[in-house]
Amino acid sequence: MSSLPHCSRCSRRRPWLLAAGLWIGVAAGVRAQAPLASAPAGAPATSLYVAPAGDDAGPGTREAPFHTLQRARDAVRRLNRSATGDIVVFLRGGTYPLDGPVEFGPDDSGCNGHRIAYRAYGDEVPVVSGGTRVTGWTLDHGSIYRATLARDAKLRTLYVDGARAEMAQGSKRVRASGSWGQFVITGAEPWAETAGSTLAGLKFRSAALAVCANPSDVELVQSNAFNELILCVQDMAREGDETVVRLQQPYGAIAASLPWGCGIDSRAEFVVRNAYELLQAPGQFYFNRTTHILYYFSRGEDMSRAVVIAPASEGLIRIAGASNSDRVRNLGFQGITFAYDAWELKELAGSRGFVGVQSLGLYDRYRADGIHHRDHYDCLDLPLATIDLRNCEGIRFERNRFEHLGSGCAISLTNDVLGSTVRGNVFYDLSGNAVNVGHPQHYASGGSPLFPAALAGVCANDAVRDNLIRRPCREFVQEEAITAFFTRGLEISHNDIQGTPYGGIALGWWWGNAEIPASTVPRDNGIAFNRVVDTQEVLGEDGGAIYVLGQQPGGKIIGNYVRGHTRLLYPDDGSSGWTISGNVAEDGKLWFHAWVDRIHDLAVSGNYTNTPEVLNRGVRCPLLETHLEGESPPWSRAAQAIIDHAGLEPEYADLR
């Protein structure tokens, strides 16, 4: 038991049971992990109620509930400081529409040793939705329908009868014919770390790509070995027999400067999307921001009855303390569906795009060399999250559902999040990943450009456990289902992940060839008893079902069952300190991949695989007692026991 700092808005300290440390036993079989410690039990002293048909002027009782989540939050603020028990806000079934995220701060904390919970009422299904229903569809021509949508922003996601539609795009990729123009950076810009110059745009043969009527809507997408660039267009013009596409800047310059084969290839193929002229196939849409007309190419739906949702709110929940000494504490959400949020991509100085070298790390500053690890990762940020946590402690998300999301991440424990839990949730049909913990700028303690010293804090003693993840990263394919950066005591266990375009779980940051030393922040992180299958379905040349980076003393990768197309267990450049034992690795090209001698001091033993191929150039990384199984099941009893134990624990098996 550890006594944490008391809430500044409460009258006294209270003890708090931290999440149990990662306990692992793999000897004669696999034993279950110790249960996660929970909040103090007891019946709530106070109950409030919210319902879609409620009234915010009412008392918030079961008979006269509030109408909005925000009104219930404000009512809690008048009760929590003097609370003598837990406070539960019950959400009745139905939809709670948002036009912007609901914000929770230190005033919304559980005080006096008690918790605040926002919870579904009984078996009812409350849906916190950032979407707007689109009605009034009429036939435009052929199978294309049109409706009026009152918004001025670009529309990047749309859902018709629960199915994700896609932005209009041509049936074929279009090859660029070279770069166009020059964009000069002086180095004095607030978004630049060095001076330099890059291409200003790209050229295409006009026969392959004509000028579009609304060029600022258009996006170019280019996939590389382990990243994908989404470039937004400024304008288009015809020059002779070529179409010149000028990119939004400075994001175009940043994308053009990336090393390692990640940057813009001006003679490679692109997917061109989000133009009316490209609306060619069922299930595609285009929104004209000038006329406010939304077009949809029907898959055969009856558009007079179809439920069409256009996401509007950029994110749904924000939980942020005032500082690392004034956190949001002891808050929970249970049984709620979070759906239909929007994201217009990362914004930088009036330009937008998705420019990352790997995983969730997105560039937000220009460097002529593009090498992020020369500057302590200060040029990196994260994509928008549906639910974002900063300066928090004891936050729990349990048995919620996250679906049909357009953000880059469903839940991000971004900065200074302690002893918090994401457990037993369902993640389905996400543009981005399911869960992220930490930030690239946590390379060192004590502050960074995005996190001044009073805010900065490494995420520690958090748990991501027993979550069911299906169809993540549908758009942002370079992301893994679960990611973490510089963390301490993080537990990623018993998750069930299936069907990812890139990796399954990635933990760590810092490469052995970096010009800065290994971070001393990470330690005692564990990846255990997860089921991770069918990975690397799009970006198959790199990544791993389980992928780790950096110096990780006390790190454990134990009891996992992984199956993928290429690399399965992948400690990348600079990895050290991991114990990798008792895992089952099925199929793939390499069950273990340690490709360079900057990988060192790994304890790898007692793993099972039907794939004999390995690459092991690591130093002091012997592969001991590897059990080679048959080319196809049945597995040995020991291997099958690991497979059976991996994934959701029995009390969460119903999630499937």
Condensed to tens digits (0 to 9), the pLDDT of residues 510-538 reads: 999 999 999 999 999 999 999 999 999 99
Cβ neighbours around 467 below 10 Å, total: 31
> Is 321 in contact with 104 (CB distance < 8 Å)?
no
Predicted local distance difference test score (pLDDT) of residue 633: 80
**Helix, strand, coil shares, percent, the chain, to 5:** 5, 40, 50
Distance CA 383, CA 504 (A): 18
77 backbone dihedrals φ, ψ, rounded to 5° = -60, -25
> Is 245 in contact with 257 (CB distance < 8 Å)?
no
Render pLDDT for 402-421 as a digit per residue (tens, 0 to 9). Answer: 999 999 999 999 999 999 99
Predicted local distance difference test score (pLDDT) of residue 27: 31
449 upstream amide cis, omega within 30 of 0: no
Predicted local distance difference test score (pLDDT) of residue 24: 38
Q: Give Cβ neighbours of residue 98 (< 8 Å, ≥ 6 apart).
A: 128, 129, 130, 313, 316
> Is 469 in contact with 445 (CB distance < 8 Å)?
no
* For residues 467-493, average pLDDT: 97
- Alpha helices (H) in 257-339, listed in sequence order: none
* For residues 318-331, average pLDDT: 97
Choose among 639, 622, 637: nearest CA to 579: 622
Predicted local distance difference test score (pLDDT) of residue 25: 38
Distance CA 107, CA 219 (A): 42
Mean of pLDDT over the chain:
92
Cα angle at 9 between 7 and 11, to 5 degrees? 80
Predicted local distance difference test score (pLDDT) of residue 224: 85
Choose among 570, 584, 575: nearest CA to 637: 584
Choose among 514, 427, 523, 426: nearest CA to 484: 523
472 upstream amide cis, omega within 30 of 0: no
Distance of CA 561 to the CA centre of its chain: 22
Q: What is the identity of the amino acid at 285?
A: F
Q: Model confidence at 445, in pLDDT bands (50, 70, 90)?
A: confident
More confident: 375 or 642 = 642
Q: What is the identity of the amino acid at 248?
A: Q
pLDDT at 218 over 60: yes
Predicted local distance difference test score (pLDDT) of residue 296: 98
pLDDT at 560 over 90: yes
Render pLDDT for 609-638 as a digit per residue (tens, 0 to 9). Answer: 999 999 999 999 999 999 999 887 899 999
Q: Model confidence at 35, in pLDDT bands (50, 70, 90)?
A: very low
Query: How many residues are given for the chain?
Result: 656
> Is 406 in contact with 341 (CB distance < 8 Å)?
yes
Predicted local distance difference test score (pLDDT) of residue 572: 97
Q: Is residue 278 classed as helix, strand or coil in its secondary structure? A: helix
* For residues 23-44, average pLDDT: 38
Cβ neighbours around 142 below 10 Å, total: 8
What are the structure tokens assigned to 237, written together? 């013009």
* For residues 65-69, average pLDDT: 98
Q: Give Cβ neighbours of residue 635 (< 8 Å, ≥ 6 apart).
A: 584, 608, 629, 643
Distance CA 250, CA 236 (A): 17
Q: Are strands 380-381 and 361-363 parallel, antiparallel or unpaired?
A: antiparallel
Predicted local distance difference test score (pLDDT) of residue 171: 84
The DSSP string of 40-88 is PP---SEEEEE-TT--TTS---SSS-BS-HHHHHHHHHTTGGG-SS-EE
Cβ neighbours around 401 below 10 Å, total: 17
Predicted local distance difference test score (pLDDT) of residue 591: 96
> Is 481 in contact with 473 (CB distance < 8 Å)?
yes
pLDDT at 34 over 50: no
Please state which of the ranges 356-360, 430-434, 440-444 shows the lowest mean pLDDT. Answer: 356-360
Chain position carrying tokens 């809507």: 217
Predicted local distance difference test score (pLDDT) of residue 14: 26
Distance CA 458, CA 382 (A): 15
Predicted local distance difference test score (pLDDT) of residue 40: 41
Q: Model confidence at 36, in pLDDT bands (50, 70, 90)?
A: very low
Predicted local distance difference test score (pLDDT) of residue 30: 33
Predicted local distance difference test score (pLDDT) of residue 168: 98
Distance CA 620, CA 623 (A): 10
Distance CA 276, CA 629 (A): 53
pLDDT at 155 over 70: yes
> Is 410 in contact with 448 (CB distance < 8 Å)?
no
Distance CA 312, CA 246 (A): 27
**Model pTM?**
0.93
pLDDT at 32 over 70: no
Choose among 83, 103, 101: nearest CA to 42: 83
What's the CA dihedral at 587, 590, 591, 595 to 10 degrees?
A: -170
Predicted local distance difference test score (pLDDT) of residue 43: 52
Q: Model confidence at 42, in pLDDT bands (50, 70, 90)?
A: low
Q: Model confidence at 311, in pLDDT bands (50, 70, 90)?
A: very high
